[in-house]
A and B are shown apart, each in its own frame.
Chain A
Amino acid sequence: MRTLVLGLGNPILSDDSVGFRVVQELRARLDKPNLTLVESSASGLNLLDLITGYDKLIIIDAIKTEGGESGKIYRLGAENLGAIRHSASPHDINLPTALELGKKLGAVLPQQIIILAIEVVDVTTFSEKCTPEVAKAIPLAVSMVAEELESG
């Protein structure tokens, strides 16, 4: 089984870099066959190119919910994406649309999609650092990904 762990975000926009950081931590400690670790700022159609050909996909990204607790990690599945209209970029289609499009066009897409979304504080200040609340969540996110990988 081929698995892709994909950290999404912007590495120089404070907490938006959290997905990148989790993947970087994982890279330092994990080296498994059939496991690919990728950091990306891609969205929509480009994202579709990236995830094609894998059986399992784990996405780590920032999320902002109304009144959400900073640093909280949500485990979501593809079914939770239904109402999301803008997964990443204004200039491209969103993730659910990309997945549906890929299906329609016969792409080999991951059967299993897990999204670990980390509640963020600041995604509008250019900085290479996460806010402390979000930085604290990184070790937990790393072990959650490791568990997902163990569970096959």
Chain B
Amino acid sequence: MKRIVIEPFTRLEGHGRIDIFLDDAGDVANAYLRVPELRGFEKFCEGRPVEELPRITPRICGVCPSAHHLASTKAVDAVFHVDPPQVAKKIRELYYCAHMVHSHIAHFYALAAPDFVLGPTSDPAQRNILGVIAKVGVDIGLQVIKTRADAQHIQEVIGGKATHSVCGLPGGVSKAITEEERSDFEDKAKNMVEFSKFSLKLFSDVVLSNKEYVDIILGDVYYMTSYYMGMVDDNNKVNFYDGDIRVVDPEGKEVVKFKPADYLDIIAEHTEPWTYLKFPFLKKIGWRGLVDGMDSGVYRVAPLARLNVADGMATPLAQAEYEKMYSTLGGKPAHHTLANHWARLIELQYAAERLLELCQDKEITDPNVRTLPTATPTEGVGVVEAPRGTLFHHYQTDANGMVKKVNLIVATGNNNAAMCISIKKAAQGLIKAGNVATEGILNMVEMAYRAYDPCIACATHSLPGQMPLEIVIYDKEGKELDRLSQYIS
């Protein structure tokens, strides 16, 4: 059996790796995603005051710290049995919409767009944000930078710090929003609504009007049927901050809608010897291995999953785009993995519109932003929709609020099985009879993975030095046959 290793991923983290195993005919037998293990997080948290976790858990990952901050804050609310005042919930949601805007813009323009604006098999040296700007123009580049910075500014004002926020407290937030801040946020939010419209138009002009790209999105290589999970509000519309968690089957029928605190009744975790990352699956359906379809308990999270589980978007512009997407993709749920990029932009539109709504909410400057906790702390679960999918934080404490147990299921964990399946399907569709040795094909395998925008071992901020994209091909005895390296900036 031949073995191909893609390590590390381009435009993704420096330590992940895809192993592709070929059979004697040179076709793909199996493909696996391997991630490095970060050790000792539970132990690190144990024995600390639970109200510190909203400041510690965002350090796991430098990418979506605000998602961890809020999931953790909500879990701590639950541990202390305290319900924050309405305005505190609105401030948290406002802050979180700004985070979504920030994160989704960065993903689309820096990571997703290069594959489409420049083409999936284009020269890797050009296939990055600089290449995108060379094509679409410097003005748009400036808009990307400005809109992102505005979203970051809102997070900083509310959160107290730009990346690692400190605003979430059990029972509320640390400070209110002043009228001056509100009015500044409102101006920024208006621009974000416009920029989101522009981004969707760009997607429509560049991707949807190009038959080649539409064929790639709709093709078998990036198609997989699965269950989907995401948070919805009382009207079953997408919500990032609060609500019940809904699961639909591959035909779009609701399987279950549950409260965050009941997640362990719904989800179980399978382990495999070759990776430390567990494989969550739906208990009711069961684990059938790394396979898709109705009989397999594998489910997906992230933007497309959120849209698939919901009945629609709660804001008008996003709703119109939602309808357009499903009519183009041929109905709901959509099983086209690459449609995640489209769904992400529709969510960008929603986040911007919702942000503006909250900025215009009469109650948002109410100074009573906290309910002081008085009950004895015990146990609690907090869930938010992170940019990359459903994020669970579950804490148990002693009567003094000292942490006894921490359990997290992160977005990438939820998607672990699905990512392995998607990579295998893409590899099977693209690699035939040992024909693997072109960068273009390998990038198209990576695109299956990139659609999920996985977050693995993100905390490692080390400069990795000279790290080539390395592809190692082994024959069936495990002997190295060929080694390809490329430096891609």
Contacts and interface: CB of A to CB of B under 8 A. Distances in A.
To the question of whether A and B form a pair in one complex, the answer is yes
Interface string B424-437: 00000000000000
B465 to A, nearest CB: 5
Given A64-B465, A97-B130, A101-B129, A91 B63 contact: yes
A88 B38 contact: no
A124 interface: yes
A77 B101 CA distance: 34
A126 B110 contact: no
Contact of A41 (B56, B145, B163): B163
B461 A126 contact: no
Interface stretch (B92-100, B202-210, B452-460): B452-460
A74 to B, nearest CB: 9
A85 B164 contact: no
A10 B164 CA distance: 11
Among B10, B14, B16, B56, the one with the most A-chain Cβ atoms within 10 Å of its Cβ is B14
B52 to A, nearest CB: 11
B143 to A, nearest CB: 10
B311 to A, nearest CB: 30
A71 interface: no
A42 interface: yes
Interface residues of B, number: 58
Nearest to B42: A126
B13 A120 contact: no
Given A9-B461, A65-B465, A101 B106 contact: no
A82 B466 CA distance: 9
A91 B467 contact: no
A110 B162 CA distance: 21
B465 A105 contact: no
Contacts of A115: 463
A42 B466 CA distance: 20
Interface string A39-51: 0111111101100
Contacts of A104: 130, 133, 138, 141
A87 interface: yes
B44 A62 contact: no
Interface of B: 8-14, 16, 36-41, 43-44, 56, 59, 62-63, 65, 106-107, 110-111, 128-130, 133, 138, 141-142, 145, 148-149, 152, 162-164, 453-467, 469, 487-489
